[in-house]
Amino acid sequence: MDGIARRAAAEAATYRSPYDPEGWLHLANIYFEFCFNDLQVASAHKAIYLTNQGLDLKDKHIGQKVREAVGMRLSCPFNIVIVDELEHALTKGYKALLRGLLEMSAYWDGLKEAKRAFEIFPANQDILLLQRMMKNEFHMRTTAIQESNQLAEDIKHLSRIGRTFKRKYPWLEERLFIRSPAFLGEINTSFNSTNCEVRPLFVPQIDPNTSKPRRSYRLVTKTSKQHLAAHPFDTGTNVGPLGVFAKRSIHKDEVLLTDHNLTVVPVTPSKKLQHCDACHALLIPPFLRDGEVRRPPCCHNVAYCSIKCASAALNGYHKVLCGKDFKWLYKSAANKELDPSWQPGALLRILAIVVADLRATPSAKMHPLQHPLLARLTAGYESDPSQAKEQVWNYFSHVIAPTRILAQLGVDVFADPLWSAEVIHCIYWRIINNACRTSSCTVVDGKLEKVTLSGIGPGYIFFNHSCEASVEWMGAGSCEGAARIDAAAAAAGSATALGKRRRASEEREALDGEGEREGVKVGCNALLCLATRGIKKGEEVRISYLPPGKRQQLGRWFEGGKCICGACDGEGTS
């Protein structure tokens, strides 16, 4: 039996009795053997959690299910026998966890978990050996970093992170990683632009020699061909990599996209009801009259700027968030336990949207990775799996936090195979690869102040990078964004009442079907994309992922640290 078949058999056996720690321990050992240490750690984490719950004889929920599962496997109903089996499983769980953390160079996480394990099993020589090995590795790493003259804060961070490889899990179905022509049509239906649309980066043409489809490249650089060759496509199922193209000629400073969304949220949540929970627009005068604020009957912790925002939240993500306390998540971020490249609020919001939508349409049996919000995202895997690059990893960000979030949202992370560890990791990589940070406005002591937002722009993510960008982007709800929209409207001759607006919600667009204005509001999370030069019809329009002088960081997205623009291609030929 090959490795994938062995894994599949072990997984099937685990889900037949998902509350028995033995199944998760078996999976952890298989992942260790095949060097999928991230999944080894996730499986060991589940085994340890189940074991601890089972050892708590007062736990009549998960703990009771664990004891029943173990008793059934042992054909023994006596707690004294079951407890002995669970204590043995706890030892194996910690060994599997510590081995995985050691392999992933997560020495700091490993030392914390080894301390917990040693308190329970002080005489276990295997745990003691793993602890000593991690102490030595952690000391050598810290010494090397200190000798490199890093800043004190950087030394602390670099010494505590682990490493993993971002790669596809070969047993996941290919359908979970494609974007079909029908889905591309759905994307353009919701793409809020009058002058641009999303198209494939290459289109099939008939080869006159073979009468079969061949690729026709919209881009002509050498690097572009290498980049596109990494993305297989079938005209019937997969449109391949996408980009944003001009539908007509576009002049400088013209607005290309105003990307309204529910997924760009403040890095630090507001403690007061100053902002719309859905779009982050300011809810206080003079931006919105108190009587226009929408307060849901189910919850006093959120408010909304419009019926549209209230409806989107209350019929969607708020259903699974209402009444749940996630202070632990924000506290951990403040303590820098989470991966610094991502923010907990956006992770929580995205998972809540997906869980709520899947729960609302159970008959569809949609896989989480096929949810429209996640299916549009790509993880940026290397074309050759053997060349997968190391990525920053830590135990809390990639395992503990997502698992606990999903459990609080009502997902059974043990019994539901749709939310397996590999699916969670795929979601995480997609988010990390597409996340952006922007700024908007808040009010502090009666004055407008800048606030940082983080998340996914569902339309913005289709703009590809170029060091010779033709588009700039910013927060539409920021002071700069509001001024740029007004300037663009004035240039187009449509801002006849510029300077007479009463509030930001009356600045832009016509009334929607519910008698409220949907336009850009001060403080909102919409992303604004504007042309920095004239753009020809049919030309791909691109943004820069990085500020000037940061091109050396392109390796995060592109093989070889070069993008597919003319400047990078020229460097490769010089």
Give the residue, 291 or 83, on which the prediction is more confident: 83
Of 126-130, 155-159, 300-304, 461-465, the least confident: 155-159
Q: How far is CA 343 from CA 105, 260, 338, 392, 455, in A?
A: 23, 19, 8, 15, 8
Tokens of 352: 């809540």
Cβ–Cβ < 8 Å for 198, 462: yes
pLDDT in tens, 230-257: 445 554 578 888 999 999 999 999 999 9
Residue 384 lies in a domain: no
- CA 516, 520, 522, 524 dihedral sign is positive
Containing domain of residue 194, as a range?
174-246
Single out the residue of 158, 177, 179, 181 nearest to residue 168, CA to CA: 177
The HSE-up count of residue 44 (CA atoms within 13 Å, CB side) is 27
Q: Quick one: pLDDT at residue 336?
A: 61
Q: Quick one: pLDDT at residue 345?
A: 84
The HSE-up count of residue 217 (CA atoms within 13 Å, CB side) is 13
Q: Quick one: pLDDT at residue 67?
A: 97
* Alpha-carbon radius of gyration of the chain: 26
Tokens of 171: 């047993």
Residues 6+ apart with CB under 8 A from 428: 342, 347, 397, 398, 402
Cβ–Cβ < 8 Å for 541, 463: yes
SS3 41: helix
pLDDT in tens, 280-338: 999 988 888 878 899 999 888 899 999 999 999 999 999 999 999 998 888 876 666 55
- State the angle between helix axes of 37-55 and 21-33 in degrees (0 to 180), rounded to the nearest 10: 160
Q: Quick one: pLDDT at residue 492?
A: 65
Residue 238 lies in a domain: yes
The Cα angle at residue 446 between residues 444 and 451, in degrees rounded to 5: 30
- State the angle between helix axes of 107-120 and 125-147 in degrees (0 to 180), rounded to the nearest 10: 150
Cβ–Cβ < 8 Å for 460, 436: yes
Of 340-349, 395-404, 508-517, the least confident: 508-517
Tokens of 408: 């609080």
Residue 121 lies in a domain: no
Q: Quick one: pLDDT at residue 415?
A: 96
Q: Whole-angstrom Cα distance, residue 479 to residue 99?
A: 51
Label residue 35 left, alpha or beta by phi (over 0 means left) and psi (-120 to 50 means alpha).
left
pLDDT at 92 over 70: yes
Q: Which one-letter amino acid corresponds to residue 482?
A: A
Residue 178 lies in a domain: yes
Q: Whole-angstrom Cα distance, residue 249 to residue 229?
A: 30
Q: Quick one: pLDDT at residue 505?
A: 40
Q: Quick one: pLDDT at residue 70?
A: 97
Q: Quick one: pLDDT at residue 561?
A: 58
Residue 225 lies in a domain: yes
Q: Quick one: pLDDT at residue 524?
A: 92
List alpha helices for 436-509, DSSP H. 479-491
Single out the residue of 412, 287, 282 nearest to residue 355, CA to CA: 412
Report the share of the chain in percent with pLDDT over 70: 80
pLDDT at 548 over 90: no
Residue 112 lies in a domain: no
Q: pLDDT grade, residue 11 (50/70/90)?
A: very high
For strands 213-217 and 264-266, give the pairing.
Answer: unpaired
Q: pLDDT grade, residue 503 (50/70/90)?
A: very low
Report the share of the chain in percent with pLDDT over 90: 57
Q: Quick one: pLDDT at residue 226?
A: 43
Q: Whole-angstrom Cα distance, residue 47 to residue 398?
A: 16
Give the residue, 274 or 204, on which the prediction is more confident: 274
Of 118-127, 150-159, 188-197, 560-569, the least confident: 560-569
Q: Quick one: pLDDT at residue 365?
A: 82
CA dihedral 401, 403, 405, 410 (to 10 degrees): -170
Q: In the predicted model, what is the mean pLDDT of the chain?
A: 84
Number of domains in the chain: 1
Cβ–Cβ < 8 Å for 525, 276: no
Q: Quick one: pLDDT at residue 504?
A: 38
Q: Whole-angstrom Cα distance, residue 66 to residue 235?
A: 48
Q: pLDDT grade, residue 222 (50/70/90)?
A: very low
Residues 6+ apart with CB under 8 A from 174: none
Q: Quick one: pLDDT at residue 338?
A: 58
Q: Quick one: pLDDT at residue 517?
A: 37
pLDDT at 446 over 90: no
Q: pLDDT grade, residue 126 (50/70/90)?
A: very high
Q: Whole-angstrom Cα distance, residue 522 to residue 228?
A: 40
Residues 6+ apart with CB under 8 A from 544: 465, 466, 467, 469, 472
Question: Mean pLDDT across the stretch 207-226?
Answer: 46
Question: Mean pLDDT across the stretch 451-459?
Answer: 91
Note the pTM of the prediction, 2 decimals. Answer: 0.86
Q: Whole-angstrom Cα distance, residue 137 to residue 140?
A: 5
pLDDT in tens, 41-58: 999 999 999 999 999 999
Of 2-11, 261-270, 526-535, the least confident: 261-270
Q: Whole-angstrom Cα distance, residue 552 to residue 567?
A: 13
pLDDT in tens, 336-355: 655 566 677 888 999 999 99
Residue 235 lies in a domain: yes
Residue 22 lies in a domain: no
Cβ–Cβ < 8 Å for 100, 32: yes
For strands 196-200 and 242-246, give the pairing.
Answer: antiparallel
pLDDT at 456 over 60: yes
- State the angle between helix axes of 327-334 and 344-360 in degrees (0 to 180), rounded to the nearest 10: 150
Single out the residue of 526, 490, 537 nearest to residue 196, CA to CA: 537
